[in-house]
Each structure stands twice: as C-alpha cells, then as structure tokens.
Amino acid sequence: ETGVTQTPRHLVMGMTNKKSLKCEQHLGHNAMYWYKQSAKKPLELMFVYNFKEQTENNSVPSRFSPECPNSSHLFLHLHTLQPEDSALYLCASSKEDGSSGANVLTFGAGSRLTVL
Amino acid sequence: GQNIDQPTEMTATEGAIVQINCTYQTSGFNGLFWYQQHAGEAPTFLSYNVLDGLEEKGRFSSFLSRSKGYSYLLLKELQMKDSASYLCAVRDGDYKLSFGAGTTVTVRA
C-alpha cells in the first residue's frame, strides 16, 4: 500500500456509459494528479490540483472531467469515451511546498480502463 | 516539448549488473527521478538527482550529468524481484515533470 488508493482497479465500459474513477490519499499531501499510461508510451499528465484548485489541464478532451472536493480526494468522471481511451489511469499525490526539493510523487496502483 | 529517451527492454541474469540509460532534452532542468513499476502495481520512487554525480542507495545507484543531458540507473546483484519497468522522469524549468516510456527489465535465473 502506497497511501494512495484508487477504485475501481478495473473498469469496462461502453462508449455511451458514464462512470467515475476515484482516488484517495492518506498522506497529508496537498497536490493530486491524474496520469494516463498507455502501453509503450510515456506517462501523460492529464490534470493537476493544488489545494483543491486545478492548476493544470494538459489539453485533455472534455469527455474527461476531473473533480477535487478536498485535498484528499480526486475523481475522474468519464463520459462518451472512445476505444483509444483504453489505458491505465494513475492517480498520484505530492507535498508541494514551493521549494526546489524533490517533491516526490506517490502513485496509486491505477485503474485499468477498457472502452468497448 | 520535452524529449526523454530510454531503451525499451533489457534482459540480464540473476546476480549480474544492469545499467539503464536515460537521455533528455528539456527546457530547463530541476531534477531527475527514477521510478520502479512492477506489472499491475503503482510506480514507486527510487532516486532523485539534481546535481552531477552518483547517488547510491544499497543495490541501486543513479548518476547524472547535466551538461550531457544524461542519467543512468545501475542495478547491482540483480534479483528476480527486480524484474519491472523503470521510468526516468525529468522536471523542467517550469517544474513540470515529464516521463520517458520506461525500460522493461527482465531478470533470468
């Protein structure tokens, strides 16, 4: 257990479905992230939240909608996805204190999404 | 955009040494990270380099040359449990983190 918990671990959905991915961290971190991991490709940063405020949206299609109700919880709402959106979605958190130090990311185990 | 290159796959024998290279071209530099990811699990932090030189942590060491845009992760006395993907990540001048595609290391008995 890393202290970052993602649910569900596996999700299969049709292109017309609406579903949500959930992430919870118990580390007291203030920043939370969504990454997309596709086979043989670099991790792609999707969204960043710092103290519940979205600080980055990396040109992500609107069919992905993030929500951060507090510093410990992060959601990714999914709607009318495409088969190419099938991937592992990783949540991460970090303690961002404005310093130039390591600010290590702690990842969850991911939610494996398959879009049919 | 940022460019981070690392080999796709490497294979080594138990007890041997493997060196995973990472080259990068980024706009600015504020540190380089190595993460380990076992299949189906979360990536976990291994090392951080921000100054030139070697950082040693037990069987794992990481080296950085900022002038060459180059790092390597050295895994010594390989064990079967070291079979995993190793991700190189660079924080650029705007403190944004970019990842390489990962190197899958397979350790054979």
Query: Bigger pLDDT: B92 or A12?
Result: A12
Is the Cβ of B34 closer than 8 Å to some Cβ of chain A? Answer: no
Confidence of residue B95 (pLDDT cuts 50, 70, 90): confident
Express each pLDDT in A31-81 by its tens digit. 999 999 998 899 999 999 988 788 888 889 999 999 999 999 999 999 999
> Looking at residue A68, what is its pLDDT?
95
Residue B4 · residue B98 · CB < 8 Å: yes
User: What is the distance, to the nearest Å, from the Cα of residue B83 to the centroid of all Cα atoms in its chain?
Assistant: 14
Closest CA to B85 of B44, B25, B24, B32: B44
Mean predicted lDDT score pLDDT of chain B: 95
What pLDDT shows up at residue A58? 80
The pLDDT of residue A98: 66
What's the pLDDT score for residue A99? 65
Nearest alpha-carbon partner for B21 in B80, B78, B63: B63
The average confidence (pLDDT) of chain A is 92
Task: Compare B95 and A21 and report the one with higher pLDDT.
Answer: A21
Handedness of CA B36, B30, A46, B71 (dihedral sign): negative
User: Where residue B92 falls among pLDDT bands split at 50, 70, 90?
Assistant: confident
How many other CB atoms are found less than 10 A from the CB of residue A100?
A: 10
Who wins on pLDDT, B40 or B70? B70
**What is the pLDDT at residue B87?**
97
- pLDDT score recorded for residue A51: 80
Q: What is the model's pLDDT at position A100?
A: 63
Q: Which of B33, B42, B89 sits opposite A110 (nearest CB)?
A: B42
DSSP structure class, residue A54: E
The per-residue pLDDT for A87 is 97
Share of chain A above pLDDT 90, in %: 75
Cβ within 8 Å, pair A42-B100: yes
Q: Is A6 left (phi over 0), alpha (psi -120 to 50) or beta?
A: beta
Output Rg (C-alpha) for chain B, integer angstroms: 13
Q: Are B61 and B73 in contact (CB under 8 A)?
A: yes
Task: Give the list of residues 6+ apart from residue A60 with CB closer than 8 angstroms, or none.
Answer: A46, A47
Residues of A in contact with B89 (CB under 8 A): 43
Tell whether B48 lies on the interface with A, counting CB pairs under 8 A: yes
Contact A45/B at CB under 8 A? yes
Q: Which of A77, A71, A65, A80 is nearest to A116 (CA)?
A: A80
* Chain B residues inside the 8 Å CB shell of A41: 101
Quick one: pLDDT band at residue A108, thresholds 50, 70, 90? very high
Residue A50 in contact with residue A96, Cβ under 8 Å? yes
